[in-house]
Amino acid sequence: MKKKFLLIVPFFILTIFSNLINFGHCFFCNLYYINSNKQKYYINENIQINASWELDYNQYNEIAYIQIQIFDCFNNIVWNSSEYDEIGYFKRSWNIKIINLNVSFINGSNTFFIKFFSYYYQISTMDMAITYLETIEIEIMKRTLMCELIRFKNHVKIGDNLSIIARFYDKFLEDNSLLINQSILFNIISNESLIFQSNYITNDSGIIIFDLFPDEHLELGKNILVFIVKNNIIYNDSVFFYEILLEKNLVYVEIIGFKEIVQLIGVTGGQRSDHKQNVVFYLVFVKKCGCLHDSCIGPFSSGIDPKFIMGVTRTVQRKPDEEIIVV
């Protein structure tokens, strides 16, 4: 019986000693640093976060871990790392693709907060400690889209054909991969009315091509070409305006036959009488269109600017008892 007691006493003493050690093993979390590679990001970029910390606690009756969390300006968590509960000193890096985050934008940008989160829970006492040891503020923005029209003419005539080549680009990027398969809404407006609308998709060069026929797509006078980019994941909402003027054709006239205008002035029964005849023959040419066929020549001729209709007139005047004078 004595031998059994001796065996129990060392075990009892060992248990007490172990509990004393665990009691003195308190929670400890120290953040040495946390940083991001930039303060401002475009939505197509990645956020790189680096952090170093030390964690210590009693794993028998305590629960503890650290975590990296990202909040938007509405205090919603949009990303978080795993829970790191290992005891010791650590360095970690995270590379986060922004476009995969559930983010919203106000006027094309938003403020986000990277936080170092520390969690502690004491099982026996049910004590809990939740702490954010440090916060980093960053800004995420959508990109700005640019547009140019290639070989664009802002004055066209009726009968002309014009190929609209619109190139969309990002002046801060040499790579066009972000501009492939982008949806572009194209409108034509005249006299504050929408006269044409269609959707186009950019090709591998960020270009859309549209064959514009003035007779079908434009109205006489000023027309506004409008390119709209809206609800794009990467780029801000953008609207591009270009003015194009549709004019009537210039008319060139060559007289190939002519009969003079004759004005006869005489006295009949004490009254003056005037007799006039006008006969003028025209051959009308329209630039790029050749001769006009079946067209009415007048100040309201379709497709012809009245101020460019020209004629040649000669007058023959005859006075009583005098010779005919050609003026």
Distance of CA 171 to the CA centre of its chain: 13
Q: Residue 313 in contact with residue 261, Cβ under 8 Å?
A: yes
Residue-range definition of the domain harbouring residue 320: 251-326
Residue 181 lies in a domain: yes
**Rounded to 5 degrees, what are φ and ψ at 314?**
-125, 145
Strand 238-247: give its sheet, edge to edge.
155-157, 238-247, 221-229, 183-190, 193-201
239 and 270 inside one domain: no
- pTM beyond 0.75, yes or no: no
Of 219, 247, 275, which residue constitutes the final position of a domain?
A: 247
Residue 7 lies in a domain: no
- Quote the tokens at residue 152: 């664009």
187 and 120 inside one domain: no
- Tell me how many domains the chain contains: 3
- Check residue 214 and give its pLDDT: 83
Residue 2 lies in a domain: no
**Strand-pair partners of 77:** 71
229 and 266 inside one domain: no
Amino acid (one-letter) located at 178? L
CA-CA distance, 88 to 107, in Å (whole number)? 44
- Check residue 107 and give its pLDDT: 67
Q: Residue 50 in contact with residue 35, Cβ under 8 Å?
A: yes
Residue 103 lies in a domain: yes
Amino acid (one-letter) located at 161? N
150 and 241 inside one domain: yes
Residue 221 lies in a domain: yes
29 and 134 inside one domain: yes
**pLDDT digits (tens), the chain, 327 positions:** 433 333 334 444 444 444 444 444 578 899 999 999 999 999 999 999 999 999 999 989 999 999 999 999 889 999 999 999 999 999 999 999 999 988 877 766 789 999 999 999 998 889 899 999 999 999 999 999 999 999 888 888 888 888 889 999 988 887 777 888 989 999 999 999 999 999 999 998 899 998 888 888 888 899 999 999 988 888 999 999 999 998 887 666 666 655 555 554 454 555 554 544 444 444 444 444 445 555 555 544 455 444 444 444 443 344 444 333 333
Rounded to the nearest 5 degrees, what angle is found at the Cα of 223, between the Cα atoms of 222 and 225? Answer: 145
CA-CA distance, 308 to 289, in Å (whole number)? 16
202 and 107 inside one domain: no
- Quote the tokens at residue 11: 């075990």
Of 141, 172, 192, which residue constitutes the final position of a domain?
A: 141
Distance of CA 72 to the CA centre of its chain: 24
Give the 3-state secondary structure of residue 197: strand
- Check residue 64 and give its pLDDT: 95
- Check residue 270 and give its pLDDT: 53
Residue 1 lies in a domain: no
Q: For 259, how many CA atoms within 13 A lie in the half-sphere containing its CB?
A: 8
- Quote the tokens at residue 88: 């010791």
165 and 137 inside one domain: no
- Check residue 161 and give its pLDDT: 82
Q: Which residue has the tokens 């006492």?
A: 125
